[in-house]
């Protein structure tokens, strides 16, 4: 990998992480030595990239920092096109519209020699089963998760039993054709998953939460997969 390409990928890698990341973790990700990591980080900082931290502790990047538009190769466009297709097919109209807008922005900045690649995508996401109807808003759920706002839900389980819960919404997971809301349940004091097609109603509460060890998404992912969230997101 060219060094210039690695520096760009390093910035994207750091922006995708919610916590400080060590030089060793970066070295493992890019198959380089820590000495090279220190040099790359210093060069990025010298060029004005807003990175804070130090060797032996960890590094973080200002999430408001954006790189200028870059180009994509054919396979990267293929991956982006497939992801957009999945959003169109398996989420709601509001999120699908955002996917269309993102696609238009990508198309607008592509050089002429790559414009044709968007018309030659070979992989698509087509529903193999009927999309399950929802009574609640998919986009509202995403917003509650993003804002870390507690919600109250009324839920019907597989035995047709109705329950009401106050939960911390942590993430949405897709198991075709089912979307599942992963939460920390205040009633059970444990993690609970709820199929969103079985949520009858939801209301945002006037209470917000912060990541709390033992109750956060990282703990849930570690419990379910045996791997930390940073590995899960790779």
Calculate what percentage of the chain has a pLDDT beyond 90.
39
Q: According to the model, what pLDDT value does residue 195 have?
A: 96
Question: Which stretch of 98-112, 132-146, 158-172, 214-228 has the lowest confidence by average pLDDT?
Answer: 98-112
pTM score: 0.65
- Distant-in-sequence, close-in-space partners of 198: CB < 8 Å, separation ≥ 6: 155, 156, 157, 158
Helix (H) or strand (E) holding 4: helix 3-15
Q: What is the DSSP letter of 62?
A: -
Q: According to the model, what pLDDT value does residue 53 have?
A: 84
Mean residue pLDDT across the chain:
84
Please give the Cα distance from 100 to 1 (Å, whole number).
Answer: 31
Q: What's the pLDDT tens digit per position in 180-191?
A: 999 999 999 999
Q: According to the model, what pLDDT value does residue 18 have?
A: 78
CA nearest to 99, candidates 110, 84, 118: 84
Q: According to the model, what pLDDT value does residue 168 have?
A: 97
């Amino acid at each position: 990998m060219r060094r210039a390409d690695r520096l760009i990928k390093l910035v994207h890698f750091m922006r995708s992480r919610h916590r400080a990341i060590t030089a060793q973790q970066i070295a493992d990700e890019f198959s380089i030595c820590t000495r090279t990591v220190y040099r790359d980080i210093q060069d990025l900082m010298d060029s004005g990239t807003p990175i804070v931290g130090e060797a032996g502790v960890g590094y973080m990047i200002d999430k408001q920092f954006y790189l200028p538009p870059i180009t994509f190769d054919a396979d990267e466009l293929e991956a982006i096109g497939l992801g957009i297709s999945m959003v169109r097919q398996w989420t709601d109209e509001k999120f699908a519209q955002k996917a269309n807008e993102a696609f238009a922005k990508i198309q607008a900045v592509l050089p002429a020699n790559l414009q044709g690649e968007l018309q030659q995508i070979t992989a698509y996401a087509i529903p193999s089963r009927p999309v399950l109807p929802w009574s609640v808003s998919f986009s509202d759920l995403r917003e509650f998760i993003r804002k870390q706002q507690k919600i109250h839900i009324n839920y019907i389980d597989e035995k047709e039993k109705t329950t009401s819960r106050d939960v911390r919404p942590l993430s949405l997971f897709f198991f075709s054709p089912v979307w599942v809301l992963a939460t920390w349940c205040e009633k059970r004091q444990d993690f609970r998953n709820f199929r969103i097609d079985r949520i009858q109603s939801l209301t945002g509460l006037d209470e917000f939460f912060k990541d709390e060890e033992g109750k956060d998404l990282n703990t849930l992912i570690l419990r379910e997969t045996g791997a930390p969230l940073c590995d899960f997101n790779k």
